[in-house]
Structure 1
């Protein structure tokens, strides 16, 4: 694997997308076509890790075909992981949840911590359930913590890595005080490493009524940076600070 990936500047936009000028109609129609295919496979119990990674890659290429320009660094750090890990990332849009699988899943088994509304969703639910995620309510923090600790340790002991978004919701602005320590505590209890991820994915905005149906802004580059695996010492307080600094420093650079 190369250390980085950068979309070629001369990557052509798909013909129909060009005809639509800067509208999102073509992008969304193709996106939902991919989701429908994935949902069909999930309902047939055929949406395995390979199918998940392939559908994620389809979204990745769709984004590039509709003007998205990826800049991904630190890919070599994925090969430094000593067994399953906890990935800890800021959360900005739908894009990272759609694209992370094609980057990570070909290298290791992985799943997400997700809200219960996603697994209950009539459209996305079958897809999410097929990937055996850890499901939390975001209504009872104590109960959510216990669920993540119990199920997370079970998954990690079975060789499955976990992606955690410690923010309460998707947001363009990164607020460190709203970045909880759930991922670090899980890694500490399970005695595994953490891998920080910084992302800037406001190419795909959050919709006013449905977050997945937000606008796309072709002028905004897409950034992702994978940090080196960190071992947790003591309570993990210093490692959590290091993760926050990793994310903050990358966002500062990308926003400059």
Structure 2
């Protein structure tokens, strides 16, 4: 299916209806899954993660059925289940923050601390070992990323970082923050870059969702041992930029 462009989008009844059903399905289901994840705090982390994964599968199914949004993944062979790594990913929408939990290994996500204050979703997310930072205090945020990130990597969790720092519109390019690359340099774990165009179907800050097949491209691991953070960051940024052009 060809992805829509901003100029070709048709905000018809079907788009409004599908987006509404998706929103209601996502929100109402949180009243079931959220409490289950919270109650599972006494259980092993893997159990909580799998319970949260049920919500992810539900949302992706709703997106497919109600909004016609599917996805195609290239490069899954670069995901080594036996070797923990750091993901540096393009960030265009909320879609990737949900969908990555469906096809990537168990992971921890770098996110804004304020998101954990959101009822149910934030509370449940707080039990899933996120790296929650206060962006207003950049020095403390970097220190927490390096300490908590290294801890999670050593425990077998992948770490996902969106180095642009915020969601960007399709076609928009922002300079990568170096924090993720610094984590790679310090910890010695490799970086796996990911590019995607989810923002076309699931636009940032938009209630409406549009039909199409989201393309996800996973790049080969970038080794970090013996390399500077700036070099690691530049390689990941260049790979993602080139992959986005090919899309």
The answer, yes or no, to whether TM exceeds 0.5 is yes
TM-score by length of 2: 0.84
- Is contact 1:68–1:221 with CA below 8 Å preserved after alignment? yes
Q: In the alignment, is the contact (CA less than 8 A) between 1:20 and 1:26 conserved in 2?
A: no
Give the aligned partner of residue 13 of structure 1: none
Superimposed CA distance per residue, residues 182-234 of structure 1 (whole angstroms, 9 cap, x where no aligned partner): 11110111111111011211111223xxxxx632122x431211111111142
The answer for the alignment partner of 1:60 in structure 2 is 60
Which deviates the most, 45-54 or 116-125? Answer: 45-54
Give distance in 1, aligned partners of 2:53 and 2:79: 16
Is 1:205 the counterpart of 2:203? The answer is yes
Instruction: Note if contact 2:22-2:59 (Cα within 8 Å) is conserved in structure 1.
Output: no
Q: Which runs of 5+ in 2 are unaligned?
A: 3-11, 42-46
Deviation of the 1:117 alpha carbon: 1.2
Q: 1 CA distance for matches of 2:120 and 2:215?
A: 28
Alignment match, 1:94: 94
Q: Measure the CA separation in 1 of the matches of 2:90 and 2:36.
A: 29
Q: C-alpha distance in 2, partners of 1:176/1:121?
A: 27
| Structure 1 position 69, deviation (Å) | 2.7
Distance 2:29 2:75 in 1: 28
User: Does 1 or 2 have the higher relative contact order (CA < 8 Å, sep 6+)?
Assistant: 2
| Structure 1 residue matching 2:15: 3-state secondary structure | coil
Between 111-120 and 234-243, the greater mean CA deviation after superposition: 234-243
Instruction: State whether structure 2 residue 28 is matched by structure 1 residue 36.
Output: no
Q: 1:82 Cα shift?
A: 5.3
Who is 1:227 aligned against? 219
- Distance, in Å, in 2 between the alignment partners of 1:91 and 1:64 is 21
Query: Take 2:135 and 2:68, find their aligned partners in 1: how far apart are those partners?
Result: 34
SS in 2 for 1:149: helix
Output the CA distance in 1 between the equivalents of 2:28 and 2:196. Answer: 26
1:253 maps to which residue?
A: 246
Aligned match of 1:74: 75
Q: Shift of the alpha carbon at 1:20? A: 5.3
Distance 2:196 2:31 in 1: 26
The answer to whether the 8 A contact 1:89-1:196 is kept is yes
CA deviation vs aligned residue, 1:93-131 (integer Å, no higher than 9, x gap): 110011100111xxx331101101111112421121121
Query: Hey, what's the Cα distance between the residues in 2 that align with 1:51 and 1:236?
Result: 36
Please name the residue that 1:5 is paired with: none
Structure 1 unaligned blocks of 5 or more: 1-7, 10-18, 208-212
